[in-house]
Amino acid sequence: MKLTVLVDNNTLTDRYLLAEPGASYFIEDEGKKILFDVGYSDVLLANAQRLSIDLLDVDFVVLSHGHLDHTWGLDPLARLYSEAKMRGRKVRKPMLVTHPLTFSAKRNRGLSIGSLLQEERLSDFFSFKFSREPVRLTERTVFLGEIERVNDFEAKRPLGKILEDGVEKDDFLLDDSALAYESPDGLVIITGCSHSGICNIVEHAKKICGDDRVLDIIGGLHLLNPPPQQLRGTIAYMKSLRPGSVHACHCTDLGSKTALSSVVDVKEVGVGLRVEH
């Protein structure tokens, strides 16, 4: 499995890549190409071009959840597909895999923070697989579906409101999911924001995949000025888990990375990073 960071809050290389508060990862496994999240803007397209990654040749687009910093890149991506078709290029129609609540209207402090585009407007460019259950993308890579909330120290606070069946409710981000790659040396867990709790995600992945070994965790950990109880619980969990490494990025602040580095091997992350397992 090869993973390239296309969108993150930071950049790593001297190739004049672009950063924004968002996330997107390009994953290659068993001949399949997976775009996991699409960031906030057309930064996704600019970075892919500079890294020689062809976004017209993607098998799956997977969305971790419905927030704007992970979905608004769908608009420039759809325009890329449309313009390529106008030029006569045959464009593959990727399968978009995500939780059924991902495209629900989301608001926070009176502002829309959900996806700009809905299923009906995207159907020209994508086929759809909405699932609360795990979905296998390749023999070794699985979308984890709805994450069980088993820990008492994370995913306890709502973030804004969600419109469900015409009723506005507190949004506990039930749509927040992740990927797991089953390597011979243990699981590689790839997250978007971890609103469902990074420790909950790891436990869910271990259960789904039947493997207690965690080789790597890559992605946002939703540790931005976290409550002390959450940070303490996460550190204690990671100390017990002993993952091979943690590529913490996007929605993980410096204080949390520093605290985690006392118990796990925290790696630097930014646009342009390539990880192979």
pLDDT tens for each residue of the chain, 277 residues long: 999 999 999 999 777 999 999 999 999 999 999 999 999 999 999 999 999 999 999 999 999 999 999 999 999 999 999 999 999 998 889 999 999 999 999 999 999 999 999 888 899 999 999 999 999 999 999 999 999 999 999 999 999 999 998 999 999 999 999 999 999 999 999 999 999 999 999 999 999 999 999 999 999 999 999 999 999 999 999 999 999 999 999 999 999 999 999 999 999 999 999 999 9
CATH 3.60.15.10 holds for 2-276: yes
pTM for the model stands at 0.97
CA distances from 94 to 52, 55, 58, 186, 260 (A): 19, 10, 6, 28, 37
- Per the CB < 8 A criterion, the answer to whether 15 and 272 are in contact is yes
pLDDT at residue 215, as a whole number: 98
81: burial class by Cβ within 10 Å (0-12, 13-18, 19+)? Answer: buried
pLDDT at residue 167, as a whole number: 94
Euclidean distance between CA atoms 113 and 107, whole angstroms:
5
- As given in the structure block, the two tokens for residue 90 are 């045959």
111: burial class by Cβ within 10 Å (0-12, 13-18, 19+)? Answer: exposed
For the chain, the structural domain boundaries read 2-276
* Among 174, 194, 268, CA closest to 237: 194
pLDDT at residue 13, as a whole number: 76
